[in-house]
Amino acid sequence: MGLTTSQKEILDKAIKALHTRAFHSQYPEHPSPQIYGETADEDGKNAFKSLRKGKFEELGQEDAKAWVGEEISPYFSEPVGATYPVFDQDILLERADKAFHQWRKVSKEDRAAVLIDALDRFSKRFFENAYATMHTTGQGYMMAFQASGPHAADRALEAVAAAYEELGRFPAETLWKKPMGKYDLSIKKEWRAIPKGIGLVIGCSTFPTWNSVPGVYANLMTGNAVLVKPHPGAVLPMAIVVAEIRNALRTAGFDPEVCQLAVDTKDEPIAKGLAEDARIQLVDFTGNSDFGTYLETLPKAVFTEKTGVNSMILDSTDDVDKMIQNITFSVALYSGQMCTAPQNFFIPADGVKTPEGQVSFDEIAQKIAAFTDGLIQNPKAGPFVAGAIQNPNTAERAKAASSLVNGKVWLETKTIKQSIPAFERASTQTPTYIQVDASEKDIFAREMFGPIAFLIQTKNTHESVALAREMAEKHGAISCGAYTTDAEMKEHIADQMSLAATPVSFNLTGQIFVNQNAAFSDFHVTGGNPAGNASFTNPNYVNQRFTWVGMREPA
C-alpha cells in the first residue's frame, strides 16, 4: 500500500513544520466558497439536518444493544435528535483487541496513509461538522467551523507527523561488530516499536473534536487500537470523525474495529469503568481536574488536560485601547468557555503606564467594561462572538458570581438574544467583571468556568507576577497574557512564568488572542503544572504510546 505521492508530500511538509515551528496549515481555516465549493455550506447544513432524524448508522458498528442520544442544542434549546449505538464494555474491548493484533503489525507508512486518507475524507465534511459542533457546544459558526474542522485536522496531522518521526528515530536493524583482537564479534540486531495496546480517549463537551483527535491519531499512528468516548452532550462531531477513520480503514483492507465509538449517557457513564479495565493501557482525557487527577493515579499511560486559572498581567502598554480591545475579546469569545480564556487580570493599584502617562486602575476597569459592553451589544458581532452557553450550570455560575463575591461589579452579566430568529431560545451570557483585592485569594484561586473575570488590584507588577506564578503552580494554568513595554519586566515575567510551566503571550493586539494555539507551532498545555500532564504535540506525547524492544542473534 504505502503513501501516495500527495500523501508523502503532506507528511513531509508537516514534519518540516514540526521542526521549524513556522506557520503551516494543511486545511484552509476560512469557509470560503472558492476553496470548499459554492454549495459547501448549504450542503453541510442539509447533511446536519439529516443526521438529526435518528440513528447514526454510518459507523458500521454492528449488533448494538441499544441506541442513545441526549444532546441538546444550546441554540434551539431542543434535542439534536441523533442517536448512537451502545455496546457492553467487553464487546468493545474484545473487538478492539482483535483489531489491535492486526493493526500493530502494519508499517508506519501504511498507517500514515490510512490516517491521512481519513483526514481527507473528514475535510469534505467540515461544514457538516461545523453545524454539529454549533448545536452541541454552543460555539459560534466561525469558531465551530475552524476549531472542529481545519484546526482539529491540523492537530491530528501534527500527531501523525510527530509519531511518524519518533517511530523512525532508530534503525529497524543493524549489524553490530565489536573488535575482539583476532576476530570481530558480529551480532545482528533489530528493534521493534511495540504499541501498548488499547487506548481510551475521553472527550469534553466544549471542544469535542479539537481536544480529542490528537490522542486518537497519536494512538492509531503508533499502532494502538482506540475507543473514543465523547461527552454525552457532544457526541456528533466525533462520531463523524470516527466514521471517516473507519471508512478509511475498510477501504485499505484493515479491521475498522481498531477505532470504535464508545457512547454513554449522563446517568450511566462508562469512562471510569473503561479506564480502570486492565485491557486499557492508554487514557487521554480532557475535562475537570478531579476526574483527571484520579485518572493520573492509574497504573497506565495517562494524558490529561484539566482545568486551570489563567492570568493576564497588565504593566504598561503603547496603546491602552488596543490592549483592552484585545483582552476583552479574549474573555467574550465563546463566553469564556475555552480552557485558554483569561480569568484573573492583575492590575497595579496605581494603574498601567502608557506613553501619555499613567492610566489609573479605575480607568482601566471602566474601559474594560465599556469595550466589552460595546462588543456584546453590537448585534452584528456580539452574539456571534459569545456563542451560546453549553451547560446551564455555566450560565447560572455567571449570573450568581457577583452576589457570591464581595467586590465591586464593573460589568454585570446579562442574557442577550441571538440575532438569528431560529436561535431566539439560545442562552447567551455576557461577561461579568468583578474587582477584588490581591489578598482575596480564596475568590480568584479557582477556575470560574464561563464568562467571569476578576480585576485584581495589586501593589505593583512584581506582586502581579508572583500571584500569577502562584496560581499556575498551585492550581494550573494553560495560558498567560502580559502587557509591558519594559524589557527587564518582560524578562522577569517570562522567567517566573516559565518556572510555573506556563507559556506567556506578550503585548497581543489585533487579530491574535491569548486563547489561540497554532498547530505545528504552539505546544498546547505544557504538562508541567496542575492544568495537565501532557502537551500537544511534543515527543513525549507519542513516545509513551509504544515501547522499543530489541532482538539480537549472532551474525
Give the pLDDT score at 168: 96
Rg of the chain over all Cα atoms, to the nearest angstrom: 25
Give the pLDDT score at 377: 85
CA nearest 361: which of 472, 508, 489, 461?
461
Residue 68, strand partner residues: 84
Which residues lie below 8 Å from residue 425, measured CB to CB, with a gap of 6+? 75, 76, 77
Give the pLDDT score at 438: 96
Please determine, for residue 193, whether its predicted confidence score (pLDDT) is greater than 90: yes
Give the pLDDT score at 273: 97
Which residue in this structure is represented by grid cell 469557509?
Answer: 31
The CATH code for residues 311-506 is 3.40.309.10
Residue 551, strand partner residues: 190
Taking a C-beta distance cutoff of 8 angstroms, is the pair 113, 171 a contact? no
Please determine, for residue 421, whether its predicted confidence score (pLDDT) is greater than 90: no
Q: How far apart are the first and last CA of the chain?
A: 31
The string of pLDDT tens digits covering residues 357-410 is 999 999 999 999 999 999 988 888 888 888 888 988 888 888 888 777 778 999
Given the DSSP bridges, would you call strands 480-483 and 505-506 parallel, antiparallel or unpaired?
parallel
Nearest 10 degrees: Cα torsion 211, 212, 213, 218: 110
Give the pLDDT score at 383: 83
Handedness of CA 432, 433, 439, 445 (dihedral sign): positive
Residue 400 to residue 341: CA distance in whole angstroms: 20
The string of pLDDT tens digits covering residues 495-551 is 999 999 999 999 999 999 999 999 999 999 999 999 999 999 999 999 999 999 999
Residues of 69-87 as b/e, b for ≥16 C-beta within 10 angstroms?
bebbbbbbeeebbbbbbbb
Taking a C-beta distance cutoff of 8 angstroms, is the pair 405, 413 a contact? no
Q: Please report how many Cα atoms fall inside a 13 Å half-sphere around the Cα of residue 549, on the Cβ side.
A: 7
Give the pLDDT score at 278: 97
More confident residue, 383 or 199: 199
258: which DSSP letter?
G
Give the pLDDT score at 227: 98
User: pLDDT above 90 covers what percent of the chain?
Assistant: 86
Please determine, for residue 277, whether its predicted confidence score (pLDDT) is greater than 80: yes
What phi-psi label fits residue 491: left (phi over 0), alpha (psi between -120 and 50 degrees) or beta?
A: alpha
Kind plus residue range of the DSSP H or E element containing 403: helix 392-404
Taking a C-beta distance cutoff of 8 angstroms, is the pair 123, 142 a contact? no
Average pLDDT over residues 240-269: 98
Kind plus residue range of the DSSP H or E element containing 391: none
Please determine whether the domains at 5-306+534-554 and 311-506 fall in the same fold group of CATH. Answer: no
- Give 65-120 as a DSSP string: SEEE---EETTTTEE---BEEE--HHHHHHHHHHHHHHHTTS-HHHHHHHHHHHHH
Please give the class, per CATH, of domain 5-306+534-554: alpha beta
Report how far apart, in Å, the C-alpha atoms of 371 and of each of 90, 216, 410, 418, 510 are: 54, 40, 12, 19, 14
Which residues lie below 8 Å from residue 182, measured CB to CB, with a gap of 6+? none
Read off the amino acid at residue 494. Answer: A
User: pLDDT above 70 covers what percent of the chain?
Assistant: 100
Confidence class of residue 279 from pLDDT cuts 50, 70 and 90?
very high
Taking a C-beta distance cutoff of 8 angstroms, is the pair 158, 536 a contact? yes
Lowest mean pLDDT among 286-290, 401-405, 472-476: 401-405
Which residue in this structure is represented by grid cell 501516495?
Answer: 4
Residue 385 to residue 208: CA distance in whole angstroms: 19
Confidence class of residue 424 from pLDDT cuts 50, 70 and 90?
confident
The string of pLDDT tens digits covering residues 14-70 is 999 999 999 999 999 999 888 999 999 999 999 999 999 889 999 999 999 999 999
Give the pLDDT score at 199: 98
Confidence class of residue 215 from pLDDT cuts 50, 70 and 90?
very high
CA nearest 324: which of 508, 68, 184?
508
Residue 201 to residue 283: CA distance in whole angstroms: 6
Taking a C-beta distance cutoff of 8 angstroms, is the pair 223, 549 a contact? no
- Give 145-184 as a DSSP string: HHHHTHHHHHHHHHHHHHHHHHHTSS-SEEEEEEE-SSSE
Which residues lie below 8 Å from residue 111, measured CB to CB, with a gap of 6+? 103, 220, 221, 223
Residue 308 to residue 465: CA distance in whole angstroms: 16
> What are the residue boundaries of the structural domains of the chain, listed by start?
5-306+534-554, 311-506
Residue 365 to residue 136: CA distance in whole angstroms: 34
Give the pLDDT score at 352: 97
Tell me the pLDDT of the chain averaged across its residues: 95
Please determine, for residue 234, whether its predicted confidence score (pLDDT) is greater than 80: yes
Please determine, for residue 420, whether its predicted confidence score (pLDDT) is greater than 90: no
Average pLDDT over residues 344-353: 97
Average pLDDT over residues 439-466: 94
Give the pLDDT score at 376: 86
Residue 232 to residue 227: CA distance in whole angstroms: 15
- Grid coordinates belonging to 359: 492610566
Q: At what angle do helices 108-123 and 236-251 cross, to 10 degrees?
A: 130
